[in-house]
Amino acid sequence: MSFSDMPVDVGPVYEGERIRSKQMYVELGGPKIEHHFELVKVREPGDIEDGKVNLVGPDLSDMEEGSRHPIGILVECAGEELEEDLEAVFERRVHEFCNFINGVMHLNQRYTNWLRVSKKAIEKGFNSFEQFGTILIRLFKAELPIIEKCQVSFYTDKDAIEEPYEMAMSTYEKRDERARGLHDSDVDMFYGCVLCQSFAPTHVCTITPDRTSLCGSINWFDARAAAKVDPKGPIYAVEPGECLNELAGEYTGVNEVTKKRSLGEVDKVYLYSGMEWPHTSCGCFEAIDFYIPEVNGHGIIDRNADHKAINGLAFSTMANQTGGGKQMPGFNGISLQYISSPKFQQYDAAQDGLEHGLEQTVWMNSGLKERVKEFIPEELRDLIATEKDASDMEELKAFLEEKNHPIVSTWEEEEEEEYEEYEEEGAMIPMGTQQMTVPGVGGGGGFRIILKNCKVHAESLIIKRIDTKKKRRKKK
């Protein structure tokens, strides 16, 4: 496969390239544009003209510097071994292949896709969707040899994109609906995915019927189809093994595979918890489930929210905390489909005597709540606040009390903690030899840094003894 006829280089080395607003020539899709999507469809061979690129709307060369446009990317492919279940898996590769192009940045997936083309790429002559589509077609056919024929269509016109956008949305819903009918107890095989390790090297997705991948793009059926055609590829089968904790969703097989695939970084995962041994998050999650200590509840914000969450943090700020392939108790990247699962964060809910994760959900951004409202049990629907009901913690507490949200029954009675305090001025504490591990570097346990004969200087040393007996919980 050669790209020598292209004005820009193409290859995996450019994955991870960031194009900041000052470097950007044009933005396609993203949160400020109403309609955008990417979709892969399997077609009959006779319905495809191999190598053809269609464009409906203005070309890159017609777009003004600094402008934003709708973008629809429809990849149609055919091949003797292709089946519909592979569409979502191929679709996830659009992200990777776009990022192979020097001067193109692609984020997210499905209807949240967001691309930027750099000024430098345009200056070099990368100024047409014909070039863009030709690169995608060559990559799809080279990286996925079971694709025999491939054509790509781009939609950049604001009116013409509406019809294919609706077709894409109904395809996503059809896939999700099918997956909602299946549960973890119905299957004897789970699947894993490490496609995002190019961005988050220790991130390992476990895909089960009840826990769709956090990017929302790959459900259990899709992963099964991908593992069947390419068992040694980035999506693979995971024998669940022994169930160690049914409530938490802890399996020996998942722990073992996660440890191996995360290079020893993560060796224990609770599939149904965001608080203890949570599933790692890369950066592609559709939403973040976050703990709100002030009310002992959880909030969920999706990436379309254009305002701050109830904790005062924007999605992008929390995403930095959540992503990167680490286990971050209290910040968990999730798919919207997982919210519909009967197992949704059930372990965390059970710690407070509640049955389902949505019983501890106290806040969602209104756009997300509208989107997932059919998954929220009717009796809870009005009890979950949005930015329209509460703008700070005091208003949230008042809202929850007024609605008698189930979380109110878990609130601790406020009592002053008693403690003994000992303070010494200017303490100098000899620490001897201290060790710390820098995780995620060099595989295994990373590097170990040893500080020999170190001393820590503190202006004062305070020792507190907290009387924990004073803490009481009112349970339901």
Q: Site residues (CB under 6 A) for ligand SF4? A: 92, 193-196, 205, 213-215, 217-218, 282, 284
Closest contact distance (angstroms) between CB of 338 and ligand SF4 is 12
419-425 and 460-466: which strand pairing?
antiparallel
53-56 and 361-364: which strand pairing?
unpaired
Nearer to ligand SF4, 112 or 217 (CB): 217
Map tokens 């005062």 to a residue: 312
Nearer to ligand SF4, 297 or 333 (CB): 333
Nearer to ligand SF4, 151 or 213 (CB): 213
What does each C-alpha distance from 343 to 383, 423, 471 come to in angstroms? 20, 48, 29
Closest contact distance (angstroms) between CB of 345 and ligand SF4 is 18
Nearer to ligand SF4, 61 or 320 (CB): 320
Nearer to ligand SF4, 98 or 193 (CB): 193
Closest contact distance (angstroms) between CB of 206 and ligand SF4 is 9
Closest contact distance (angstroms) between CB of 59 and ligand SF4 is 30
Phi, psi torsion values for 197, nearest 5 degrees: -70, -15
User: Rounded to whole angstroms, how far apart are CA atoms 137 and 212?
Assistant: 28
Closest contact distance (angstroms) between CB of 244 and ligand SF4 is 23
Nearer to ligand SF4, 213 or 273 (CB): 213
Closest contact distance (angstroms) between CB of 303 and ligand SF4 is 13
Give residue 433's Cα distance to chain centre: 40
Nearer to ligand SF4, 104 or 193 (CB): 193
Map tokens 């998954």 to a residue: 375
- Tally of CB atoms within 10 A around 422: 9
Nearer to ligand SF4, 220 or 344 (CB): 220
67-69 and 361-364: which strand pairing?
unpaired
Closest contact distance (angstroms) between CB of 150 and ligand SF4 is 20
Closest contact distance (angstroms) between CB of 153 and ligand SF4 is 23
Q: 421: which strand partners?
A: 464
Closest contact distance (angstroms) between CB of 196 and ligand SF4 is 3
Nearer to ligand SF4, 209 or 297 (CB): 209
